[in-house]
Structure 1
Amino acid sequence: MLWEDIMRVSLFKLAAATAIAAVMGTGAFAQTVLRFSHTDNPGGSRQAAAEVFAEKVKEYTDGRYDIRIFPAGQLANDPKAIEQLILGGVDFTVSATGSYATHLASLNLTAMPFLVDTYEQGWELYDNSTWLQGEFDKLPAVGFRVLSTWEAGFRSFTTSSPLASPTDAQSMKMRVYPNDMIRWSMEAIGFQTVVMPITDVYLAIQQGTVNGQENPVDTIKSLRFYEVAPNVTLTRHVYSPLPLTVSEATWAKFSPEDQEAVRKAANDAAAFSRDLVKNSVDSQIEEMKAAGAKVSVPEIGPFRDAVASVYDKARGVYGAEEVDKILADAAAIRKKMPSK
């Protein structure tokens, strides 16, 4: 057989094998790579839940999708990742609800202070609030959609000097992310606010550009903020979970069966995330104490009183009807599921 004939037969066999693999969904040529960006460190709960999500997507789609995870802001900080989600530059991201408010302002209302008191109340709010589900339904028109809600917990403070009451806040600069509701609450407590990406915060505290930051315990521990701001004050002033979102451009490429598989994987990862974060908080606090952090629970009344004006400010900006809808949903949930 001539060399040209041998090559022709070999190429034919290769093409046939590739075609068969594609039809069977087992070949490398049939696999689609998707990009998942987030800002948590590799050892954090977001990364752990993202790994569960990626594994479950692969399992439920017979290996047709390979989700590559980029932690610690490798691709973008939170606002930029959401912009890339809309543009199709990344396929998935997970971030605090307020981070998405740049693209749907009403989501700022989820960051109103002291809406819920327990994890279970927060889960009920995010899974079953009529108002919030209605807002989430508006997001596909923006360019992304919510698949499930992962957990981060309740926001508290880490500061370079003790924070026993709002009086102490008056001498401090507090880092905030780009969210009006968080900024209003911090200013009502007495802080001077400085907006910056979370990826810049550790160094900013270390250099004295700001005196502290506020985030859930899981984030404080993962990003090691207690190392440079060792006073951890557990105010739990805002419930701050993490909607997992998918680019609408990516979603539209999935078959209905694959959409169902991805959503199922997202719900599995949400259950994992909620269980992990809720059951890790106490041990994380103890680990931070062992590393030198000074953890305290202040009298909450003065902080609640300080932020009372935020609700009226929100009514003036977002409309009394919208504010009162989410407040009513939260009140009904607190009544149905009282704190133990």
Structure 2
Amino acid sequence: MFKDWKKITIGTVTAATILGSALLMSGTASAETILRFSHTDNPGGSRQAAAEVFAAKVSEYTEGRYKVRIYPAGQLANDPKAIEQLQLGGVDFTVSATGSYATHMPTLNLTAMPFLVDSYEQGWELYDNSAWLKGEFDKLPEKGFRVLSTWEAGFRSFTTTSPLNSPKDAEGQKMRVYPNDMIRWTMEAIGFQTVVMPITDVYLSIQQGVVNGQENPVDTIKSLRFYEVAPYITLTRHVYSPLPLTISEQTWQKLSEEDRKAIKKAAKESSEFSRKLVRDSVDSQIEEMKAAGATVVAPEIGPFREAVKSVYAKAKDIYGDDVAKILADAEAIRTKFPTQ
């Protein structure tokens, strides 16, 4: 279905002329209403590719009533600011790690618990069918935005300026984290000092020695070229980190029922595209980074799993019964989709 995605360009998606300020009207839209989509991935990354698919599908399924204009690479905002802009109606769509939304729904921190799932299939089942997670997502419209579908980013791993073969190597090292308690607790449990900063500042901060590394999925590491300044890639896969695609609730409430269905259909199909693209690209991305000079290792995971056990206890102290609920869903999913 998406074999020609590379032919889709931002120019194609945004070629429509903006008529005046193109305001949404209650239940209807002008012939070419522009919707703004902000994300922090580079133009050559998977988020941009999926955004182009989404934009094309929105235009197709709304018969041209809506055109999605994409702003990549943090042009409009970093991830936390883009979510704030969703709430204010300043942007219409964004896509970010689930933990980024936890500022507004703290229980979503629990999706970033370390080693919660072990495979893409398990992760997809969690995000598509976990009763607990569906319930949490259903609360988001009252926060000013709602989840349309979930795009893929993959499992988080490390890029550092020196080798990271075990938690012992983390001692005295500064690790960039985004504003998420679970990620911060996990990094500190491993042994890092943590520094919170937007992803758009990370490359230069590593280059200048402000931090010694960062952790993100392989797709993000490759897209944002972190391996250039932190050439030791350690494949811990410590957190599954997909990307909910969200729409401003202000925008959603102004859509007709027909256009809501069209946008949800576009969101679902762009999710399918994103998941296949990211899953199928990981091995080649690793090889490309190795060819560019990166050192890639798959360490013994046992010491890392042992180091982060305290994170679960801390989560239970703060989130109580919610921890048991998501862990029960994850255990059932691991049983249903066992890894080899």
Identity %: 80
Counterparts in 2 of 1:23-62, with a 5 A limit? Answer: 30-62=31-63
Return the offset for 1:161. 0.1
Q: Which amino acid aligns with 2:150?
A: T
Deviations 1:9-66 (A, max 9, x none): xxxxxxxxx9xxxxxxxxx962100000000000000000000000000000101101
Q: TM-score, normalised by structure 2?
A: 0.91
2-side partners of 1:189 and 1:92: how far apart?
Answer: 34
Q: Which amino acid aligns with 1:41?
A: N
1:253 aligns with 2:254: yes
Return the offset for 1:171. 2.1
Deviations 1:245-300 (A, max 9, x none): 00000001110010000000000000000000000000000000000000000000
Unaligned runs of 5+ in 1: 1-17, 19-27
Aligned equivalent of 2:243: 242
CA contact (8 A) 2:190 2:304 kept: yes
Return the offset for 1:223. 0.1
Aligned equivalent of 1:144: 145
Counterparts in 2 of 1:184-263, with a 5 A limit? Answer: 184-263=185-264
CA contact (8 A) 2:152 2:275 kept: yes
Aligned equivalent of 2:336: 336
Alignment size in residue pairs: 313
Greater Cα radius of gyration, structure 1 or 2: 1
Aligned equivalent of 1:162: 163
2-side partners of 1:290 and 1:152: how far apart?
Answer: 22
Aligned equivalent of 2:289: 288
Aligned equivalent of 1:23: none
Q: Which amino acid aligns with 1:235?
A: T
1-side partners of 2:43 and 2:218: how far apart?
Answer: 16
Structure with more of its chain in helix, by fraction: 1
CA contact (8 A) 2:161 2:212 kept: yes
- Give RMSD over aligned pairs: 1.0
2-side partners of 1:166 and 1:304: how far apart?
Answer: 10
Name the SS for the 1:30 alignment partner.
coil
Aligned equivalent of 2:314: 313
Q: Which amino acid aligns with 2:301?
A: I
CA contact (8 A) 2:30 2:65 kept: no
Unaligned runs of 5+ in 2: 1-18, 20-28
Q: Which amino acid aligns with 2:238?
A: H
Counterparts in 2 of 1:69-80, with a 5 A limit? Answer: 69-80=70-81
Deviations 1:107-154 (A, max 9, x none): 000000000000000000000000000000000011000000000000
Aligned equivalent of 1:274: 275
Q: Which amino acid aligns with 2:332?
A: A
Aligned equivalent of 1:7: none
2-side partners of 1:231 and 1:328: how far apart?
Answer: 35
